[in-house]
Structure 1
Amino acid sequence: MTDPINRALLPAGLHDVLPREAAFEATIVEKLMAEFALNGFDRVKPPLIEFEASLLSGPGAAMATQTFRLMDPVSQRMLALRPDMTLQVARIATTRLANEPRPLRLSYGGQVLRVKGSQLRPERQFGQVGVELIGTLLPTADAEVVLLAYRALDAVGVNNISVDLNVPTLVPAVCRALDLPDDETARLRQALDRKDAAEVAAVGGKAADLLASLMRASGPADRAVELLAALDLPEAAEGDRQRLTEVVRLIRAGAPRLMLTVDPVEHRGFEYQTGISFTLFSRGVSGELGRGGRYRAGARKPGSQGEPATGFTLYLDTVLRAVPDPAPSPRVFLPLDTQESDGARLRSEGWVTVRALESFDEPAAEARRLHCTHIFTGGGILPAA
């Protein structure tokens, strides 16, 4: 005889979101989306599942190992469940909205599913909200998305926000300019991600001293910009340095109190980024609040180069841990004989109403059983306790 199925058991990395937490998440999502809308970003809603060939083409190839796949019984083609929404929004921008004026500002919110979690984020299904700014290479666009992420998180109550700026294209530019072989470059990138100065010195060859100087430039943004300005970078890397300097200046002007750091050699998690990128944190909260940066959104016309784009994604599971728990909404119990007009009036005043479906000898006891804080009686509201 087999054991009965435990219907509450879910696969690793998946979980039910229960009433209070679900309502809290929905409120935070709408506040974030409202902030995006106020800044001119129009909401789009891509499907949960797409053709594998479309979803995982171009930059999407970086997410291939994190993607669930299945066969479509209708088309007999392979489908993929989205592991990230940025790729879908980029597809919409370069296909359905290809003729819209640029720069194009789009926002989104929804659930994603990944094959496995990470040490910091064991969840395999979680919510994402974010924006994409498509069709411009201007550094003002890089600064705009960083500042919008900061303002949106601040608007929902996240405290002690910090932004770490990264330039994942800088190290490859230096290595190419110095003619380092690909295998050596790959080893150097791993060593730099680990901040392993000894390994950089051992395998860096003629690039070792310069890369060590880049690694030492990590830290507070103003200091990092000053140290980078003193380095003798190859001409191929000069554009990255100038853009970083300008983006730091623009962010400082827009948010002087924002905690801003720079790590010019970080690469992990930015595999498909093509320029200034960033990670969002909150002091005392484990994990990243979100990530963003430059990438190529794909081509609007066959044979043309992909459109320049930048944006960010916020991870709701981490954001919710960074936001103070909401005070429970006041709930008032309405006995069976309560007039509908009274219930409507109470709801217009901000009360959550719970209507009785039968008469009770002790309505206050029933109110407490249903987690109501108050009871409507005699035309007035009394505590249920």
Structure 2
Amino acid sequence: MSDTPTKALAAKALLPTGLRDLLPPDAEHEAQIVGRLLKEFHRHGYERVKPPLVEFEEGLLSGSAAALANQTFRIMDPVSQRMMGVRSDMTPQVARIAATRLRKAARPLRLSYAGQVLRVKGSSLRQERQFGQVGVELIGPDRAEADAEIVLLAASALAAVGAKGVSIDLTVPTLVPAVAQALNLTGDDYARLRSALDHRDAKALAEAAGPHADLFSAILGASGPAPAAVERLAAIALPPVAEAARQRLTEVVALIGQAAPHLAVTIDPVEMRGFEYQTGVSFTLFARGVRGEVGRGGRYRTGGDSPVGEPAIGFTIFTDTVLRAIPGPQPVRRVLLPLGTDYAEASALRAQGWHTVAAMDACDDPVAEAKRLGCSHLLRQGVPEAL
């Protein structure tokens, strides 16, 4: 019988797989980092929007967002009796806002956002099913300068919150499909080619590409640090239909190199996993000492395959990952105020940067009480004294 209360508490604390509580001081630390990222975006002209957590299913999963259907939780709206979805990614929501609420706003349209998303299941690299996203979308221009702006902003935002060893891995997910289409590699032939490239399997690539094996092997080999990888890609005789993708990548790498010559940039011209619906230059963000991606971005159209959609490019930073890439929470100056401390005196301390904790009882050992409540200082005769 004595174990019953303990078991009951343990049952209440149990959460579904992939969900967790964020406790002090980590919850405050995350909020501060999100605020600093948004501030950096705002300094570059990006204005914040805040879409709802839940939307009607047909709107939430329209266009290219249909690819998120198997990651979306559904619920029935008791008011309208229509199916709703809990967002699993915020980019489609921002695209919807741009195409509807802000359709008459001046272009280029620069928007930023932050919020939580929920997914049906985690991945091998991210077990969490709920996590935070912070990002931006640049809607309207279809230029290399827009691509470069987004990449550079992602790097500067991560640097602003203390991430070290930031690197950018660029790809153009439309390149390989364009080459394959020009060579009439479709259906099962293309699926085998795609699988071989995804697994970097030279033998399987030779079998899947047949007489075009040398061409695709050369594209696969044009990977590595920029701009050397761009030079190798430039030496390959690509079909004319793929030339625009190669040229755009070349321009973007040059612009990034001019603006941030010390930024680590690599090229992977065959990477497509996770970028299936991107329409141009795309990228993955990494940071030193962190397993997996810190974020990712790329070019797309706000209406998916619809001809009325606008060109856009943006990126998303994953807050759970970025927190592992930066220094942890720093200690704060936390002072215990004895019972009865004047409110004006406490306000003055807070104005000086102190975090005040008001005692709720008189105590014989105020030092012990201050330590028990996690304070670094105790207020004595109007002066905070270190413990």
Tell me if structure 2 keeps the 8 A contact 1:162–1:259.
yes
CA drift at 1:337: 2.7
Match of 1:361 among 342, 356, 364: 364
Tell me if structure 1 keeps the 8 A contact 2:26–2:329.
no
CA drift at 1:338: 1.7
Give CA-to-partner distance per residue, 1:223-265, whole Å, 9 cap, x none. 1111011110000000001000000000111111111000000
Partner of residue 373, structure 1: 376
Farther-moved stretch of structure 1 (2-11 vs 40-49): 2-11
Partner of residue 274, structure 2: 269
Tell me if structure 2 keeps the 8 A contact 1:163–1:261.
yes
Tell me if structure 2 keeps the 8 A contact 1:14–1:124.
yes
Tell me if structure 2 keeps the 8 A contact 1:62–1:271.
no
Separation (CA, whole Å) in 1 of partners of 2:106 and 2:58: 27
Separation (CA, whole Å) in 1 of partners of 2:14 and 2:329: 28
Query: Helix, strand or coil: the match of 1:347?
Result: helix
Match of 1:335 among 326, 334, 338: 338
Partner of residue 165, structure 1: 170
The 5 Å alignment of 1:133-212 reads 133-212=138-217
The 5 Å alignment of 1:94-105 reads 94-105=99-110
Partner of residue 7, structure 1: 12
CA drift at 1:268: 0.5
The 5 Å alignment of 1:9-24 reads 9-24=14-29
How many residues of Structure 1 are paired with residues of Structure 2 in the alignment?
A: 382
Tell me if structure 1 keeps the 8 A contact 2:297–2:313.
yes
Amino acid at match of 2:180: C
Tell me if structure 2 keeps the 8 A contact 1:175–1:207.
no
**Normalising by the residue count of structure 1, what TM-score does the alignment of the two structures yield?**
0.97
Query: Helix, strand or coil: the match of 2:13?
Result: coil
Query: Helix, strand or coil: the match of 1:127?
Result: strand
Amino acid at match of 2:384: I
Separation (CA, whole Å) in 2 of partners of 1:10 and 1:303: 40
Query: Helix, strand or coil: the match of 2:25?
Result: helix
Amino acid at match of 1:106: L
Separation (CA, whole Å) in 2 of partners of 1:311 and 1:367: 47
Partner of residue 244, structure 2: 239
RMSD: 1.5
Give CA-to-partner distance per residue, 1:282-304, whole Å, 9 cap, x none. 121111100000011118xx974
Separation (CA, whole Å) in 2 of partners of 1:193 and 1:52: 32
Query: Helix, strand or coil: the match of 2:230?
Result: helix
Amino acid at match of 1:143: A
Amino acid at match of 2:73: F
Separation (CA, whole Å) in 2 of partners of 1:56 and 1:163: 29
Match of 2:326 among 311, 323, 327: 323
Query: Helix, strand or coil: the match of 2:51?
Result: coil
Farther-moved stretch of structure 1 (43-52 vs 330-339): 330-339
Separation (CA, whole Å) in 2 of partners of 1:181 and 1:272: 18
